Amino acid sequence: MSKRARRESSGKHGDLSESAGPGMRERATGSVPGTSGHHRPHEEEGETSMAIQRMDNVGIVVEDMDAAIAFFVELGMELEGRAEVEGLFADQCTGLDGVRCDIAMVRTPDGHSRLELAKYRSPAVISAGPRNPPHNILGTHRVMFAVDDIKDTVARLRPHGAELVGEIARFEDSYLLCYVRGPEGIIVGLAEQLR
């Protein structure tokens, strides 16, 4: 099996071997955060464990990797690392032939949530529909982030091509919410909790 992963360390963020998704890194073992030692939540003696441990990451296919990284770093995420992936395991996993893909992993400041950005060199990327689909299209359409200051966040993202899908809206006395369209037409949700 031919497998190559060229890793580029990004200084303090480490390399992708510490942050990539399943099949790209060795997983840490131990208890689930927030539980005591040996049992997962809802696991009692004699019961089988749940099949899922956590959500590892959300994948987004992009054409302009540098622009996508810049957008999410400006949002407040941290670049963990970049790699080039190819080989039999990549073909088997994706159901495609001749996969050559650049990936970058970015994480939220708390370290619990990640996005895997992928730029396909081969096979060529395929457009799934309109470049800027409306919010009510079927399928995955947005990732939501909690932010400290929604207006400041939108202002900082505008130089990176971000545009409001609608407007900043207030939900009761709880949240300010909006959707922003970023690189590749990605819709990002922003939520500011009102104190």
Same domain as 151, residue 101: no
**The pLDDT of residue 60 is above 80:** yes
Residue 10 belongs to domain spanning = 3-35+55-122
Mean pLDDT computed over every residue of the chain:
79
DSSP 8-state code for residue 31: P
Res 48: pLDDT: 65
Residue 50 in domain: no
Residue 46 in domain: no
CB neighbour class for 105 (10 Å; exposed up to 12, middle 13-18, buried from 19): buried
Range from 57-61, 73-77, 181-185 carrying the lowest mean pLDDT: 181-185
Output 139 or 53, whichever has higher pLDDT: 53
Output 30 or 100, whichever has higher pLDDT: 100
**The pLDDT of residue 68 is above 50:** yes
Which helix (H) or strand (E) segment is 190 a member of? strand 187-193
**The pLDDT of residue 176 is above 90:** yes
Q: Which two tokens stand for residue 130?
A: 């309109």
Q: Give yes or no for a contact between 80 and 16, defined as CB atoms under 8 angstroms apart.
A: yes
Q: Count H helices, E strands: the chain? A: 3, 10
Output 118 or 34, whichever has higher pLDDT: 118
CA dist., res. 78 & res. 186, Å (int): 18
DSSP 8-state code for residue 138: S
